[in-house]
Amino acid sequence: MVRGDSPWAVEVTSYGAGEGFYAGYTLKNSALGRPTVDTYEDAFVQNPSVTVVPAFPPWDPTELVSIGGGGHLVLKMGRAIVNHPDNPYGVDFLIFGNSFFQGSGLYNQNANDPRTYTLAGQDKIGINTKNGVVSVSVDGIHWFYFQNQPRLGMLPTLGRVWLEEEGEWGDPTDPTVPPDPALHVKDLANMPLVKLIEHYRGGAGGTGFDLSDLIVPPGKSLPKKFHYVRIEVPVGQFRTEIDAVSVVRPASERRRWEIRHFPWVQDPAVEKNAVGMKLNSSGAPALLHPDAGELPGWVLEWSPSLRQPDWRDVEAETPTGAHVFFRGRRIEEEASP
């Protein structure tokens, strides 16, 4: 059962498989709920035990619904899609399918260890994306289309957070956190899978859509809220498979303050090397940035990994010059300047 106030689709109001759909993948309710977290190792196991990663996507008929040429899928969302000014990167909702990155051979799902896999080089890297024309509606009758129609699956799904210190999978990722649209495939060539996972920043990936890109017919105004998402595959085009659709969650005031004042914390490649540690006036360890100086309202506590959204994993330099992995957390509300 999918709750009506969920950030994902809660009802399939219309489905037509079209022509050339993938046989057996017509369980329309497979597109309801959150994106798949764990999938099946193979067709002979009864329970999903392999974490979905960008190199091993969901693939079971209970996880995906297929749409062939001339087919469509209409989903009613549990929460309205809004063009909120605080939505990260301007992305308002995400679509998840079964796309995947090409890499160094096949991902070993039996080991279920992302440290053993590397994405392909510049000459071979790519994403197995899919066709699909996306539109949104207030009432499920009148539809607005997007000026730009990105191919579905631009950032393949990641099911769980990787706990680097423990060397194991942790809690499910957050499908309401969109990926950075500036992340390009060619920039990821030869990247270890565990490094790619850092760029997800706790999110689940997906293809992002911005309501600002909607086409507004002459004489009409753009509604403020949308409750339905339709995915169509044009006649004669290759099929697509859909796992889920989710509404993006606006950034919190804490996160907005963080982005405004310390944009360097957004980049995981920079974050671990951009901060140090010193004792503040009360004798407690505090974050120190080489350009911004001491960060007020932050404390450091030992932690092997990031487990809560209000924490940031950082590498801190102790007074003796040793580098220790800490988690940083703001402990006071900062007024907006």
pLDDT in tens, 231-284: 999 998 889 999 999 999 887 654 554 455 444 344 433 333 333 444 444 444
pTM, whole model, 2 decimals? Answer: 0.76
User: Is 97 in contact with 108 (CB distance < 8 Å)?
Assistant: no
| 3 band by pLDDT with thresholds 50, 70 and 90 | low
Question: What are the two backbone dihedrals, phi and then psi, of residue 56, each rounded to the nearest 5 degrees?
Answer: -145, 90
Cβ(6)–Cβ(35) under 8 Å? no
| Distance (Å, whole) CA 261 – CA 254 | 11
- Split at pLDDT 50, 70, 90, the class of 4 is low
The reported pLDDT for the residue numbered 337 is 30
The C-alpha atoms of residue 209 and residue 216 are separated, in whole angstroms, by 16
Please say whether the dihedral angle defined by the alpha carbons of residues 92, 199, 129 and 45, taken in this order, is positive or negative.
Answer: negative
Amino acid (1-letter code) at residue 274 = A
Residue 50: partners with Cβ closer than 8 Å, 6 or more residues away? 38, 39, 40, 41, 56, 109, 112
Per-residue pLDDT, averaged over 277-303, amounts to 46
Alpha-carbon distance of 100 to 126, in angstroms, equals 8
E strands, the chain, are 9-16, 38-39, 50-51, 65-67, 72-82, 93-96, 133-137, 143-145, 160-163, 168-172, 207-209, 225-232, 240-242, 244-247, 276-279, 285-289, 293-294, 298-302, 311-317, 323-330
Decide if pLDDT at 311 tops 60.
no
Q: Which residues contact 22 (CB under 8 A, 6 or more apart)?
A: 66, 68, 239, 241
What is the C-alpha separation between 123 and 175, in angstroms, rounded?
Answer: 31
Range of weakest confidence among 41-45, 158-162, 202-206? 41-45
What pLDDT, on the 0 to 100 scale, is given for residue 11?
A: 96
Q: For 13-20, what is the mean pLDDT? A: 95
